Each structure stands twice: as C-alpha cells, then as structure tokens.
Amino acid sequence: MSDQHDPNESGDSGDEARFQPRDGVTETIAVLQTRLPDHHGLLLCLDFDGTLAPIVDDPEAAEITPTNAELVDRLRDAPGIELAVVSGRGLADVRGRVDVDDVTYAGNYGIETDYGDGDIEVHPDAAAAESVVERVRTRLEDELEDEDGVAVEDKRWTTTVHFRRAPDRAEAVTDRVEAVVAEHGDDQLTTASGRAIVEIKPDVETNKGAVVSGFAAEADGYLPMYVGDDVGDRSAFEAIDAAGGVSVYVGDEDIGATATVASPDEVAALLRWIADDGVDYVGGNGAVDETH
C-alpha cells in the first residue's frame, strides 16, 4: 500500500493550506474502498466548471485549480484509471483549459468527443443543425447586445447565453432566448437552463448522461464514477446510478447523488486520495478495513 495521504490536505495556496472536508469526501472514500476491490479499475468522469475549476462571473476567466491540474495529470497515468472530462463547454475550449493530453474529452454535452487521440467525433444530427444554431446565435447577439452583463457564447455546435453578472435579468433574458429559438430554430433546437445560463442545442439524443453511459459500456469491469455540479450533470448522475456507479455532487443541495462535496478544493482532496491510495484498492489489492 502506498503512503497514506490525509484527504484534508490541499495545496492550492502556496502555504500547504489545510481545510476540513465535509463528510462527503470521507463518505466517498469509504464507498470506493468498499467497491473498487470488486472491479478491474475506475472510470472517473469529471465536469469542468464548478468541479475542476471554481465558478466565476466571467466564463472566459475560468481556470482549473493548480492542484486539480496536477492531479488530472497524475490520474491520466495511474494504473487502473480511465479518465474523462465531460463538459458543456466546446471541446477545444475545455481541452485547452485542462491542458492534459491523452485524456478523453467530451464537449458540448457529448456532441463532440475526443478519445485522447486528437480525432474529434461530432454527432451527425448536431452537425446537420450547425447553420440553424449559427442563425439563432447571430439573432441573439443582435437582440441582447444592449443587455449589460449578458454574454452570448459561440460554441459552434451550441450556444450559451450567460447572465451571471445580470441576475435581475434572468427571467427576461430566458424568455427572449426561448422566443428567438421558437421563431428561428426551425424546430431543430431546444433550450435548457443551468446556473445563470441558457443553453441552445440541437434537439438530438445526447447529453452528459448518454455520454457517461457510453463510456461505462466501453469500460467493462470498471467502476463508473462522475463528479459534477450543475443541472446539466443530473443526467450523468442518473446514468452512473443506473450503471451501479458512484456519483458525487459539488454543491450544497441534496440531489440524490452518492455523496456531496463543497467545492473544487474538496474535489482535489478526493482526487488526491484516488491518486495516492485509491489505485491500490482496484481488483482486490486493498484491504477495505484499513483507515485512509
């Protein structure tokens, strides 16, 4: 067994900052200690915003924490770990922000996927709707141009309208977006609300849950696990639960996940335990009654 690491530690401040994790960190560790010995490995799927990176007012300013960046890099090479980053961001965007090669990335809620080889697969029905998405995006840019604190993000296959910096305009902006999609979307698009955002997407059968289900089916014998924080992650939690896996919600709500942690720092505590100790539990290597 590797040297035991205290999951209370985090290294994001330069002074070996320590914090006391909520019960969700130790609860998840206990579940993994029990479940991993019955599996060949761990399929670890991670959201980006709010999970690997703190939520910020300006989505362009979002950055993975240094500790999480280091841990993703370590976990990529860890034995018995299959790693995937699953995001609503465009694939190139999230891949650039994580900046770790040879990892599976799913962007735009699974519309585009890179299995670590640099070749991007795009959902064919979403690709067929590209011109409609572009038309709606252009219309929204014109209509929302004078809305202070509102931004329209071009993700090619999808569009996101952000209003975190204009919370008082949430209902009005959402209504405007839905009206534009209804008028100009040719019945090919759908909308979905998240935390201070509205997503405009092709009406195709894909979401984070479908992506994670596909990954789990391909990783036969691996324990599937998903960590995420937003409304768009709920389908992934449901898929993980259906596959008998472990779901971890980052936030302060009870949404039925296996466990709940508070922040990307607590995600780091969990990832560090997986990297330092969790890998030794895979396939019966760990003793589940040890204290970690």
Catalytic residues: 47
CA–CA gap between residue 211 and residue 215 (Å, rounded) = 6
Structure tokens at 75: 């976990």
Please state, as a whole number, how many other Cβ atoms lie within 10 Å of the Cβ of residue 260: 23
Nearest to 83 by CA among 282, 237, 225: 225
120-122 β-sheet, strand order: 120-122, 112-114, 104-107, 81-86, 41-46, 222-228, 246-250, 259-261
Structure tokens at 170: 């949430």
CA–CA gap between residue 169 and residue 172 (Å, rounded) = 5
DSSP run (H or E) holding 69: helix 66-76
CA–CA gap between residue 135 and residue 11 (Å, rounded) = 45
Strand pairing partners for 190?
A: 201
Question: Quick one: 143 exposed, middle or buried, by C-beta within 10 A (0-12, 13-18, 19+)?
Answer: middle
Answer for the pair 12, 193: CB distance below 8 angstroms, yes or no: no
The SS3 assignment for 236 reads: helix
